[in-house]
Amino acid sequence: MGDRLVLLPVRAGMGEHAPRPVRRAVACMMAGALVQAVSTLVAWLDRDGTRAQTARLAHEFQRRTLPAGELERATDQARWFGLVTGAFFVVLWLLVARLCLRGRASGRTCATVLAIVYTFTFLLSGVRSFGPGALIGAVTMTLGLATVYLLWRRPVTPWLSSQGAARAARRTR
């Protein structure tokens, strides 16, 4: 991988001295953003699948079949909700990666909290089948956990401390 991470532009003061675990964690986060973007796009394009899932959920939770107009409105709402939340999580992956690459301890904390929340949500969601959705969820969970593992490796904490001290020194000048 060399000294620089190719996936993000690195300029002076932004990660050029990041230890290898941080660079690998950032690569995991870039992969997570890509998986999230592809999954969001696929879900957006699969209108029939969203309609079928909306109808199934309405029947399961409301014990009724939705009329055609109501089903179409609910399908549109579900698609837009999925698109907006998917885009939000892509941006979140990228922001946390940037924080980590810049040596911000808050990036490591954010990555840890998000990975824990996603892992518990995924495991407790009661995945009913091991289709594409479950596979994408498992890949996302694995990338999040790998990111956290890498960010808590031994060389990372001293580097984060030194980056924080350097920022504090620049502010006092």
Helix (H), strand (E) at residue 105: helix 105-124
From residue 104, alpha-carbon distances to 16, 55, 94, 96, 145 in Å are 14, 45, 14, 9, 19
- Show pLDDT as tens, one digit a residue, over the chain (173 residues): 444 444 454 443 555 589 999 999 999 999 999 999 999 998 899 899 888 888 888 888 888 888 999 999 999 999 999 999 999 999 999 999 999 999 999 999 999 999 999 999 888 876 666 667 778 888 999 999 999 999 999 999 999 999 988 888 888 87
pLDDT at 133 (0 to 100): 75
pLDDT at 5 (0 to 100): 46
pLDDT at 6 (0 to 100): 47
Q: List Cβ neighbours of 76 (8 Å cut-off, separation of 6 or more).
A: none
What is the pTM assigned to this prediction? 0.81
Amino acid at position 167, single letter:
R
pLDDT at 50 (0 to 100): 87
From residue 77, alpha-carbon distances to 44, 64, 67, 82, 83 in Å are 11, 19, 15, 8, 10
CB 155 within 8 A of CB 19: yes
